[in-house]
Amino acid sequence: GAGVSQSPRYKVAKRGQDVALRCDPISGHVSLFWYQQALGQGPEFLTYFQNEAQLDKSGLPSDRFFAERPEGSVSTLKIQRTQQEDSAVYLCASSQQRGNEQYFGPGTRLTVT
Amino acid sequence: KQEVTQIPAALSVPEGENLVLNCSFTDSAIYNLQWFRQDPGKGLTSLLLIQSSQREQTSGRLNASLDKSSGRSTLYIAASQPGDSATYLCAVNPGNTPLVFGKGTRLSVIA
């Protein structure tokens, strides 16, 4: 497909478990962003990649959150030892260059029980 | 720090009405501004993007305006339809930092 895809679409984790969320950006898009959206709120920035380089991770809420994009295409957001406050929708977006229009995936809804 | 505010938080209108959604931002130094639509349980669909040098953009029944100096944007929806029911998000792109979103306006169009 031509759009941004994310998997899984839904994830239920028990508190303390590790989870991995995947994002497939639009082919050729250099920039990739991760956002976290709590219920009833707008998305908030987590981290940004330009190709394989993670240039900004200032939005990651704790050191339990880790993201990578080793080959400059697919990205994985990993959350270790999940907590209830991690429950949210995690959105991935890509753009041709930073500052250009961002295209969003459908998101992964994470529920920590 | 850039902050984005959307008013109203929720809006309910009868089908066929024209309506305006408002977005304000605190720092006028922006690269562009995007309006998104989000359906329940779904991701974000980009509706319109306005570059900082532009005053407005139109797509079908949608018209977005930008007044950068006053830190305001509006999304005008003409002849609203029940299918327009969704949450509308405004996001500012400062250029060298990621998008900053408002909390959205939840729109219900009643048939």
Three-state secondary-structure class, residue A84: helix
Residues of chain B in contact with residue A42, where contact means CB-CB under 8 angstroms, are 4, 89, 91, 101-104
| Segments of chain B with pLDDT less than 70 | 96
In this predicted structure, what is the pLDDT of residue B73? 98
Q: Do B44 and A48 touch (CB under 8 A)?
A: no
Q: Is B8 on the interface with A (CB under 8 A)?
A: no
Q: Which residues does B31 contact at the CB level (< 8 Å), separation at least 6?
A: A99, B51, B52, B93, B94, B95
In this predicted structure, what is the pLDDT of residue B54? 94
Count other C-beta atoms under 10 Å from residue A17's C-beta: 14
In this predicted structure, what is the pLDDT of residue B26? 96
Q: Quick one: pLDDT band at residue A70, thresholds 50, 70, 90?
A: very high
State both tokens at B55: 């005053």
B42 vs B33: CA distance, rounded Å = 21
A96 vs A85: CA distance, rounded Å = 32
Chain B from 12 to 31: CB within 8 A of any A CB: 31
Q: Is A102 on the interface with B (CB under 8 A)?
A: yes
In this predicted structure, what is the pLDDT of residue A2? 77
pLDDT digits (tens, 9 = 90+) for A4-33: 999 999 999 999 999 999 999 999 999 999
Count other C-beta atoms under 10 Å from residue B2's C-beta: 16
Task: Look at residue A1 and tell me whether its pLDDT is greater than 60.
Answer: no
* Inter-chain contacts counted by CB atoms under 8 A, chains A and B: 58
Min Cα distance A35 → chain B (Å) is 9
Q: Is B41 on the interface with A (CB under 8 A)?
A: yes
First CA to last CA distance, chain B: 41
Strands A108-112 and A103-104: unpaired
Q: Do B93 and A99 touch (CB under 8 A)?
A: yes
